[in-house]
Structure 1
Amino acid sequence: MEPITEIYSYLKQPKEAFITMHQKPDGDALGSTLGLSLFLKKLGFRTHVISPTNWPAFLNWLPGCDQVLDYEANLDLTKKIISNCEYIFCLDFNVLSRTKNMESLLAEADGIKVLIDHHEQPQKESFNYGISNTNKSSTCEMVYDLIVDAGYAHLIDTEIATCLYTGMMTDTGSFRFPSTKASVHQAITHFKHLGLNHTAIHERIYDSFMESRLRFLGNALLNRMEVLYEFNTAIMAIPKSDLVKFSTKTGDTEGIVNYMLALQGIKFAAIVIDRDDSARKWSFRSKGKFDVNTFARKHFNGGGHKNAAGGATSDSLEETVANFKKVIREYVSELTEPYISEL
């Protein structure tokens, strides 16, 4: 994989580009792809944004989202687009398998593949050009850097800023996480000078849930959360019956794992959800030095960042929870080490 700077000259030769993200995209995945698409269109590119799956309805207001295609719902059309595009931009995922059923199609596509991502251990051999920077807060921040470093900062408008701010805000926990470096605030200063309405974005992301989602959250906290005080860990196991009972939709479970980190003394939070497919999906969050990326890779076929990662298993819900409680014993010394966040 050659450095991302090598594509700067290509930006002066607009062609047809396909932009994609990981399955079940979040605010960073959708915000970065839409922000990049809007920017490339200003350069004269013909762009297509395709998601491997559907996405949360609370992101439908993002500029350009009405043009995003769901691969699973538009197979014939999206396959034709992917095969005809000269550029393929892959954002917010490190390995092709994170695009679910699009994996083989992407691997076989002839277009020039460009990676922009901030997760660990990227599949570099699958991309022609790219950048993988785990020190960045979000892929949206990296798209901002690309635009600025390539000499096109003047093309950023409020629509592009809105898309990029959304990913920066959601991937940093509203600028709470350690990944929120000065560069993030500098980018936001730029956006605010353009007239960005950050309050409206926060309201659309966090104040637009259905009643059923809040009741689902309440049930999860009351009936599904278990606190393992001896390991400074909290775990939540969501059975499929809960998803049905509360009519959950894509995005309804996003961020629930973070609630457990609000417990005093808790350094590690984990949630596992039993969905309709054959796998049980894990989400891991941590404070301080405990590395959930390593934990997820070693025990749950996953990965991500040091303090935020995911995983999956074909074990039953009961089996995977039992396995979690077994392997967590290997980390007792790390999890019981005193932790105080530095000011």
Structure 2
Amino acid sequence: MNVYKKIVEEILKASHIVITAHKSADGDSVGSSLGLLYFIEKLGKKAVVCHPDEAPDFLYWMDTSEILLMNQQPDKVKQKFEEADLIFSLDYNGTDRVGPEMQALLEAANCQKIMIDHHLNPEDFATIRVSETSVSSTAQLIGELILQSGHEDLLDEKIGTPLYLGILTDTGVFRFPSVDPRTHEVTAKLLAAGVQNHLVHEYLNDNNTASRLRLQGYALSEKMLILEDYRAAIIYLTKEELEKYNFKKGDTDSLANQALSIRGMKVAVMMSERDGIIKISFRSKGENNPVNVLAADHFDGGGHANAAGGMSNLSMDETLEKIKGLIPEYFSN
């Protein structure tokens, strides 16, 4: 029996299913969670999605109202974990990725746990683990769950749309090296099931606010430092600057990729001062420029070779100087 059929067996046996994903939601964590939820419902079972915090507002066109949030509804989330006889851990490789409050609930839960993830270095906390680090996205793995478990007939537009969203966003619109023929084969199955890909692109890309565009314009024109010798770009925004432009979660998500799009750039870093820390996004091009190593070594982070995240407890100026000093060490080739 393949692992995906085993997972469906566990779903059909369970009475109280909880679906979790990592803190600081993105398109893949939201898309894989909702796609799995709708698949479980098509199997005739009930489930609930519990996330640590809210999704950025550019994902609100999805029905994120179905997601219980640890930072807003802790009592409800706690109740769901206490009732759970099956917990899914989607798009994260360690229990600390869900934040300390949900981590405590997850580790205390005495039930079946299934990890479905594509990040490096997975921890051994799940009863069943699907860890495919070469796969483009967790949403693609949920697609594989449906296709390889023999339930392709259940795939429809409702299930397929969030999965398409997850694949689209985690592949950088199919530009990252993780995209392979199977990525397109799974995507083709989603389109055949009724997903309207043009609408997903519109919902993602045609929903800017004026303040978001002004913030991004300011960041690119005034707060971008280019290290020509190392083909690296750094954008850095303080708390005061974010507040000036009425920052909303998700407003800076594309800035690292925009900086990386400059001709000749091979590394881009985006830093923003939020919640008392400096949050850092790293992006790069090519197999010889893995940013996850830098993130793990110095910024309590990690991720994929060309897309990673981290954090710093230093000031913005100190963090900027630290990164400027590390780039020659990690990206001198």
TM superposition shift of 1:103 = 1.4
- Compute the displacement of 1:264 (Å): 1.4
Name the CA distance, whole Å, in 2 between partners of 1:267 and 1:301. Answer: 22
**Counterpart in 2 of 1:286?**
284
3-state SS in 1 of match to 2:71 = helix
Structure 1: which amino acid aligns with 2:188?
Answer: T
- Report the 3-state secondary structure (helix = DSSP H, G, I; strand = E; otherwise coil) of the residue aligned with 1:48: strand
SS at match of 1:333: coil
Whole-Å separation in 2 of the counterparts to 1:98 and 1:238: 24
The 8 Å contact of residues 24 and 250 in structure 1, kept in 2 or not, is answered as no
| Alpha carbons 2:294, 2:330 under 8 Å: kept | no
Q: Which moved more, 1:2-11 or 1:215-224?
A: 2-11
User: Aligned residue for 2:167?
Assistant: 168
Is contact 1:216–1:246 with CA below 8 Å preserved after alignment?
yes
Stretches of structure 2 that go unaligned for 5 or more consecutive residues are none
2:10 matched to which residue of 1?
A: 10
2:106 maps to 1:144: no
The amino acid of 2:73's aligned partner reads: N
Q: For the Cα contact (< 8 Å) 1:279–1:312, is it kept in 2?
A: yes
Deviation of 1:5 after TM superposition, in Å, equals: 5.7
Structure-1-length-normalised TM-score? 0.93
Q: CA deviation at 1:7?
A: 2.8
Retained in 2: the 8 A contact 1:273–1:282? Answer: yes
- Structure-2 residue corresponding to 1:339: none
The SS at the match of 2:183 is helix
| More displaced stretch, 101-110 vs 228-237 | 101-110
Q: TM-score, normalised by structure 2?
A: 0.95
**4+ runs of 1 displaced by more than 3 Å?**
2-6
Write the letter of the residue equivalent to 1:111. C
| Post-superposition offset of 1:4 | 5.9
| Map 1:167-246 → 2, pairs under 5 A | 167-246=166-245
| Aligned residue in 2 for 1:269 | 268
Q: CA deviation at 1:181?
A: 1.0
Q: How many positions carry a matched residue from both structures?
A: 330
The answer to whether the 8 Å contact 1:15/1:44 transfers is no
> Within 5 A, what are the aligned runs for 1:119-158?
119-124=119-124, 126-158=125-157
Kindly provide the amino acid, as one letter, of the partner of residue 161 in structure 1: G
Shift of 1:52: 0.3
Q: Distance in 2 between matches of 1:5 and 1:251?
A: 36
Worse-matched range after superposition: 185-194 or 163-172: 185-194
> 8 Å contact 1:118–1:138 — kept in the other structure?
yes
Corresponding position: 1:31 with 2:61: no
* Runs (5+) with no aligned partner, structure 1: 335-343
| Amino-acid identity (%) | 38
- 1:202 maps to amino acid: H
SS in 1 for 2:248: coil
Q: Residue 143 and residue 157 in structure 1: after superposition, are their counterparts in 2 closer, same or farther (change >3 A)?
A: same
In structure 2, the residue corresponding to 1:72 is in which secondary structure? Answer: coil
Displacement of 1:111 in angstroms is 2.3
Q: Which amino acid is the alignment partner of residue 13 of structure 1?
A: K
| 3-state SS, counterpart of residue 283 of structure 2 | strand
Work out whether residues 29 and 167 of structure 1, in 8 Å CA contact, stay in contact via their aligned partners in 2.
Answer: yes
CA–CA separation in structure 2 for the residues paired with 1:163 and 1:308? 21
Superimposed CA distance per residue, residues 208-247 of structure 1 (whole angstroms, 9 cap, x where no aligned partner): 1111000000000011100000111110111001110111
Paired amino acid for 2:152: A
Letter in 2 for 1:166: L
Contact 2:41–2:47 (CA<8 Å) still a contact in 1?
Answer: yes
Counterpart in 2 of 1:67? 66
Q: What is the RMSD computed on CA atoms of the aligned residues?
A: 1.5
Does the aligned pair in 1 maintain the 2:14–2:85 contact within 8 Å?
no
Q: 1:181-214 CA deviation, whole Å, 9 max, x = no partner?
A: 1112112221222222111110101111111000
Q: Secondary structure at the match of 1:69?
A: strand
Name the counterpart of 1:305.
Answer: 304
